[in-house]
């Protein structure tokens, strides 16, 4: 992987890049996330695709301007980022918050987006869950114990949580303005317009993947996405929680590659 930086609307944005294919995938992380959350899946996908993986604006090592972090704000960021790095067309893949942003992008029906992959996307769930509460507290008060507990709740009690991911989360959430961006994003999602109209506008082939044991955005929300998106292929990942790209990257990669073949 190459670590790179690009200026997007006067903001310094960090991103990772890997792969030599002429087929691009833009990967968007979730709330409180960062580019390395995709690390486990990158080696599999980079063999067949050219990957662009940003720390989205407000997150990771990217700039965190004072702004309203609404879905529309992220939508504009994604297209401006694509322009800045020269992406003419792409497949989009997003998880959680990143999945909701991919939906926003796909709803524009711009021809630059060829296919989309959604992993437990946000956008329909309007109330919190104990796992989301724990994750929010870990972001605002990022101690090792709090972060480990939140990550453990996300993946399930029987799975190991990476110490590196815990330390990286703590480092990122301790950066100036990180908590502001996190809270602003939560408020932006809470006050966002109903997403169903956006779902109905999606025309590109869509793959929806959901961990059966997801406790952050529970599995039952998946059916509302399936029934609202045309041309949507739905796959359940048994034994996975909210982060199948961390928990079972090889299986997830197989599903993605098959869908994109």
pLDDT digits (tens, 9 = 90+) for 219-229: 999 999 999 99
Q: In this predicted structure, which of 92-96, 159-163, 236-240 has the lowest mean pLDDT?
A: 159-163
Per-residue pLDDT averaged across 125-148, rounded? Answer: 95
Kindly write down the DSSP assignment for every residue of 118-173, as one continuous string. EES--SS--S--HHHHHHHHHHHS--HHHHHHHHHHHH-TTSPPPHHHHHHHHHHH
User: For residue 152, what pLDDT band results from cuts at 50, 70 and 90?
Assistant: very high
C-alpha 57/C-alpha 129 separation (Å) is: 25
| % of the chain surpassing 90 pLDDT | 95
Separation CA 150–CA 123 (nearest Å): 21
- Amino acid 161: pLDDT: 92
Looking at residue 32, what is its pLDDT? Answer: 96
Q: Which pLDDT band holds residue 72 (cuts at 50, 70, 90)?
A: very high
pLDDT one-digit tens code per residue, 158-206: 888 999 999 999 999 999 999 999 999 999 999 888 899 999 999 999 9
d(CA 100, CA 96): 7
Q: Give the confidence band of 83 by pLDDT, cuts at 50, 70, 90.
A: very high
Looking at residues 36-53, what average pLDDT do you find?
Answer: 97
pLDDT score, position 103 = 98
**Beta strands at 11-18 and 50-54: parallel, antiparallel or unpaired:** antiparallel
Residue 242 has pLDDT above 90, yes or no: yes
Distance CA 119, CA 99 (A): 6
Question: DSSP character for 193?
Answer: P
Specify the pLDDT at position 1.
83
- CATH number at 244 reads 3.40.50.1820
Ramachandran region of residue 85, left (φ > 0), alpha (ψ -120 to 50) or beta?
A: alpha
Nearest to 37 by CA among 65, 18, 60: 60
Check residue 215 and report its DSSP letter: T
Cα 173 from Cα 126, distance rounded (Å): 24
pLDDT tens for each residue of 176-187: 999 999 999 999
Residue of 31, 205, 37, 47 lying closest to 116 (CA atoms) = 205
User: What's the domain range around 139?
Assistant: 2-260
Mean pLDDT value across the chain: 96
Residues 6+ apart with CB under 8 A from 220: none
Domain count along the chain: 1
Work out the average pLDDT over 54-74: 97
Is pLDDT at 157 greater than 90 in this prediction?
A: no
Q: What is the pLDDT of residue 46?
A: 97
pLDDT of residue 126: 86
The reported pLDDT for the residue numbered 194 is: 87
Taking the CB of residue 90, how many other CB atoms lie within 10 A of it?
21
The confidence score (pLDDT) of residue 89 equals 96
Q: If pLDDT is split at 50, 70 and 90, which confidence band does 134 have? A: very high
Residue 109 dihedral angles phi and psi, to the nearest 5°: 60, 25
């Amino acid at each position: 992987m190459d670590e790179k930086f690009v200026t997007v609307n006067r903001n310094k944005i960090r991103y990772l890049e890997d792969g030599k294919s002429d087929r691009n995938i833009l990967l968007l992380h979730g709330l409180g996330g960062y580019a390395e959350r995709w690390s486990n899946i990158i080696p599999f996908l980079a063999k067949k695709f050219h990957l662009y993986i940003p720390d989205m604006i407000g997150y990771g090592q990217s700039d965190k301007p004072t702004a309203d972090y609404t879905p529309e704000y992220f939508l504009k960021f994604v297209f401006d980022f694509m322009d800045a790095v020269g992406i003419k067309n792409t497949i989009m893949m997003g998880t959680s918050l990143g999945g909701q942003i991919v939906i926003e992008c796909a709803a524009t029906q711009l021809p630059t987006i060829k296919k989309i992959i959604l992993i437990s996307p946000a956008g329909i769930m309007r109330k919190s869950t104990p796992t989301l509460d724990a994750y929010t507290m870990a972001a605002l008060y990022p101690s090792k114990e709090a972060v480990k507990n939140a990550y453990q709740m996300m993946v399930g009690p029987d799975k190991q949580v990476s110490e590196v991911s815990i330390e990286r989360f703590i480092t990122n959430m301790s950066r100036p303005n990180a908590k502001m961006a996190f809270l602003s994003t939560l408020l932006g999602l809470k006050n966002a317009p109903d997403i169903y109209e956006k779902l109905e506008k999606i025309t590109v082939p869509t793959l929806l993947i959901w961990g059966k044991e997801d406790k952050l955005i529970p599995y039952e929300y998946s059916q509302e996405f399936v029934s609202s998106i045309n041309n949507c292929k739905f796959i359940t990942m048994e034994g996975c929680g909210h982060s199948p790209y961390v928990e079972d990257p090889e299986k997830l990669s197989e599903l993605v590659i098959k869908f994109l073949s």
